[in-house]
A and B are shown apart, each in its own frame.
Chain A
Amino acid sequence: MINKIKSSHREALTVIHDGASIMVGGFGDSGIPFELISSLLDMGAKDLTIISNNAGAGERGIAALIRANRVNKVICSHPRPPRSEIFADAYRSGRVQLECVPQGTLAERIRAAGAGLGPFYTPTGYGTRVAEGKQTCVIDGKGYVLEQPLSADFALVRAHQADRLGNLMYRLAARNFNPLMCMAARHTIVQADEIVEAGSLPPEYIMTQALFVNAVVLAESDE
C-alpha cells in the first residue's frame, strides 16, 4: 500500500541535509508551511539555499531560519515586504546572498523544471539589469531573455487537504507557488491542515497529483 504519511515533522524532514536547496511555498503569510519550517529550524540543517517568493517577514518562517544563520542564499522576487528587517540586516552585513528574480519568471522557471523543460525565452526583464549576462533575442520586434529552469533538492509546501497517496488540495490564495514547487523539487514534503481518506477528494479537482509528492505530515502533528 502506498502511504506517504509521516507520523512526525522530524520523520518527514530527516532527509534534509546541510547545504540543501529548499523551495518554500507561500506568498505573504498565505500558504507558507510555518510549522514545517519551525521543525526544520529545531533540527539544525544549515548552509541552506532558500527559493521562495519572499525572504521572510516578521520573526517566523524563513526569517527565523535567516536569524539563526542557517541560510546562505535566497532566490526570491521580493525580499522587502513589510516587516522584513531580519533579511535586510543579514543581506547588508553580507551573511546572506540574494538572487532577485521577477516573480513571473520565478514561477515559470520552477514550472519549467517541474515540466522537464529546458531554458525558455520570456519578454520579462528584456533591456533591464535582469537580462545582463543572459542570451537575448528579438522575434517579430519583441525582445526576449533566455531564462533557466529552477529545481531544488526539496520543497516544503502547505496544503489544506492531503491523502496518503500525496494528492493535495489548497485553500483560496494559499495555493500560489505551492503546486509548482511540488513539481520542481526532487523531494517534496507537505504539511496539511487535514489528512483525508484516499478516494474522498474529487479526482477532477485534485490540484497537485500524487506523483509530485513524497511525504505528507499533519501541520499540527509533532512528537
Chain B
Amino acid sequence: MNKPISLSRQQIAQLVAQDIPEGASVNLGIGMPTLVADYLPTDREILLHSENGILGMGAAAEGDQADPDLINASRVPVMLIPGASITDHATSFAMMRGGRLDFSILGGFQVACNGDLANWLTDAPDAIPAIGGAMDLAVGARQVLVMMDHTTKSGETRLLAQCTYPLTGVGVVDTVYTNYAVVDVRDQRFALRAIVDGMTVDELQAMTGAPLHVEGALRRIRLHGTGMARIE
C-alpha cells in the first residue's frame, strides 16, 4: 500500500473538470472553482457563465488583452469565446435561478449528508457576511458541485451530519470533491464514489462526520505522469 496522497487544489480541479461533459453550461464560483477552467478538456465545447453577465467566457486575459470592462466574478480580466454574449445582472441570474445552468461549482466550508451547504459565513466573531452569488448558484443550477478540503486546517471534518455554520442552501449539493475523495450526496447520505490511492475507507471515515456508504465498486484516484489526477 502506498502512502495516501492529499490532492492539491489543482488536482481537485482536474477531477471536477473531467466530470464536465461536452455541451455543458457551467458557472465557476470564486476561489478554488476558478482553477477548473484550466483543466477543461479542450475537445469539449463548454459554455462558461460568469455571474456578472458573461456567457461564453474564455481564458484569463494577459497584458494588452486585458480590458477593465471585461472581468470575471473574481475580478480577473478575461476573454470571450466566439458566440459569447453579455447581459445585465437580472438576466444573468435568471439563467441560474431559471435552471438553465447545468453545473454550478462552488467552494465550501461545510457540506452535510442531506445536501446542505455552508460557504458564506463562519462563526468567527469578526467575520463579515458576504453572500455574493452563492445562494442563487446553490438553488439554481441543475447540479451543484462543491470543492473543498476534507478537513479544516486544525483537522475538523467539513463533511458532516449537519452543518454548524450558517447555510447557503438547503439540500442543494450533488457531489463534493475533496483532497481525499469524491463523495456524492444521494438519498440524504454520503455515497463514496472514489478515494485517493493508499487510503482505506476506514481512514477516510475517521475524517468524515457522517457515514460513508460504498455502493458498487469503489474507485481509486491516482496521479499520472505529470501529476494529473484521475479517477480509475
Contact = CB atoms under 8 A, between A and B. Distances in A.
Query: Do A and B interact with each other, yes or no?
Result: yes
A102 B133 contact: yes
Interface residues of B, number: 38
A17 interface: no
Interface residues of A, number: 48
Q: Is the interface of B mostly helix, strand, loop or mixed?
A: loop
Interface stretch (B15-23, B39-47, B81-89, B177-185): B81-89
Contacts of A111: 90
Interface in A55-103: 77-82, 87-88, 91-92, 98, 100-103
Nearest to A80: B130
A27 B52 contact: yes
A201 B93 CA distance: 27
Contacts of B54: 173
Nearest to A122: B97
A107 B169 CA distance: 19
Interface stretch (A43-51, A148-156, A175-183, A213-221): A175-183
Contacts, number: 130
A102 B51 CA distance: 12
Contacts of B139: 123-124, 126
B132 A78 contact: yes
Interface in B109-151: 121, 126, 128-136, 139-140
A55 to B, nearest CB: 9
Contacts of B97: 104, 122-124
B136 A29 contact: no
A129 interface: yes
